[in-house]
Amino acid sequence: MNRVNRFVRCAVVALVAFASTTALADVAEVPKEKQTTLGLYLTAQEAYDAWMADPESIKVLDVRSPDEYLFVGHTEMAMNIPFMVQTFAWDDAKKHFPMKPNPDFLAEVMKWAQPGDMIFVMCRSGTRSARAVNALAEAGFTRVYSVTDGMEGDLVEDPASPNHGKRLVNGWKNAGLPWTYTIDPAKMRIPAGK
């Protein structure tokens, strides 16, 4: 790559990174459960636009469970390294099957990325991605952005809506961004015991 192209690419990445951090710079706009220690946030649309501008410099990390990645769909460019793994012991008090931390998460990310890499982290709706960003920040990663609306987006909260409780507000899929069910096993790190 010649010097001019390298300069243009660096300028685009810098501009996108600056725009991304200023787009949601007011922490009050990011729900508390989606806030990170690094304070770097993107919407799904911003993440896609930034990746399209420089796919060689940006890594996309999907921290959802392998089941979500397989059966809900995923972005083609994302590496799937689950932050949490599904358990199958019913929690009667909470009325769901709880998740537990993936003990291999940090080790697997460190095999795939370096602490100085620019990484966009996404989950279903932005909460797990925030927790994953915090774990990566604690491990020395500094340029890790949380995709605040995730793959599926937020819930419709209007009780009068026929879509009440469905994930139809924002998110990668709801923005009409490209996604797939096609699996590339090289882009998945299945936790031990799965």
**Among 89, 87, 84, 122, which Cα is nearest to 103's?**
84
Q: Which residue ranges of the chain lie beneath pLDDT 50?
A: 4-15, 17-25
Domain boundaries, the chain: 3-187
Helices (H), the chain: 3-23, 44-53, 66-71, 105-112, 127-138
Phi, then psi, of 9 in degrees rounded to 5: -60, -45
Give the span between the Cα atoms of 98 and 154, in whole angstroms: 19
pTM of the model: 0.83
Options 3.30.930.10, 3.40.190.10, 1.10.3720.10, 3.40.250.10; CATH of 3-187: 3.40.250.10
| 18-34 per-position pLDDT tens digit | 444 444 445 668 999 99
Mean confidence (pLDDT) of the chain: 87
